[in-house]
Amino acid sequence: MAHDIQTQAGEKPVFYLTEDHHPEGSTNLGFWLYLMSDCLIFAVLFATHGVLGRNYAAGPSPADLFDLPLVAINTAMLLFSSITYGFAMLQMERNAKAETLFWLAITGLFGLAFLGLELYEFAHLINEGAGPTRSAFLSSFFTLVGTHGLHVTFGIVWLVTLMVQVSRRGLIPENRRRLMCLSMFWHFLDVIWIGVFSFVYLMGVLG
């Protein structure tokens, strides 16, 4: 391949471009593989919760503890942040730096709202004496939901870092690649949350 282009173009080493193409695609695939391995972490935590989720140790059950309207609002926050990140990616494609930054900021605010509500819920549970040490059910609940919350936290740290990067360097190819990876990460966290609110909250309250 490289020889072909070299002979055609004479002295100009254009083959460099074909070489550059490869890392671009493999970043996406590599990041996808990371997400899949992250998926396995959550699968194990879901399995743990599936096994321990009914062991209340004579303590409170999900129906006593979970406030479904709050969980619904929380879910909405994460869903909104997903669509606003989508808008940021569309603006990035249009090379609109200011609009990209705007939608990234909105995404970050929705993410913070989600985290705030989750921390409020955790604090409320612990205050009620339903902390992670109360029963096997609560241990697995806090581990699973806490791990997801930790992912969102680092997602927001990453988001702020990229906003600084974009505002300083603009939408250069490197930053586009990073935004693409964070996009996959962010939507992936929303996918995990679907499992959390269905399997942990709704099925838990259902009993």
Partner 1 sequence: MNSHPHAPAHEDAANTHHGHGHEAGHGSLKGYMIGFGLSVILTAVPFILVMAGTFDSKLLTAFLVMALAVAQIIVHMVYFLHMSPRSEGGWTMMALIFTLVIVGITLAGSLWVMHHLNTNMMPMSPEMMKNMP
Q: Of 14 and 119, which has the nearer Cβ to partner 1?
A: 14
Count the neighbouring beta carbons within 10 Å of the beta carbon of residue 154.
Answer: 12
Member of 68, 70, 109, 117 binding partner 1 (CB under 8 A)? 68
Q: Rounded to whole angstroms, how far apart are CA atoms 85 and 152?
A: 14
> Is the Cα dihedral 70, 100, 105, 193 positive or negative?
positive
Q: Which two tokens mark 166?
A: 């974009």
78 class by beta-carbon count within 10 Å (0-12 exposed, 13-18 middle, 19+ buried): buried
Q: Of 84 and 115, which has the nearer Cβ to partner 1?
A: 84
Contact flag: residue 128 with partner 1 (CB under 8 A): no
Long-range contacts (CB closer than 8 Å, 24 or more residues apart) made by 19-25: 24/173, 24/177
Contact flag: residue 106 with partner 1 (CB under 8 A): no
* Residue ranges in 176-205 that form contacts with partner 1 under rule CB under 8 A: 176, 180, 184, 187-188, 190-191, 194-195, 197-199, 202-203, 205
Residues lying near partner 1 in the complex (CB under 8 A) are found at: 17, 20-21, 24-25, 28-29, 32-33, 36, 39-40, 43-44, 46-48, 50-51, 54-58, 68-69, 71-72, 75-76, 79, 82-83, 86-87, 89-90, 93-95, 173, 176, 180, 184, 187-188, 190-191, 194-195, 197-199, 202-203, 205-207
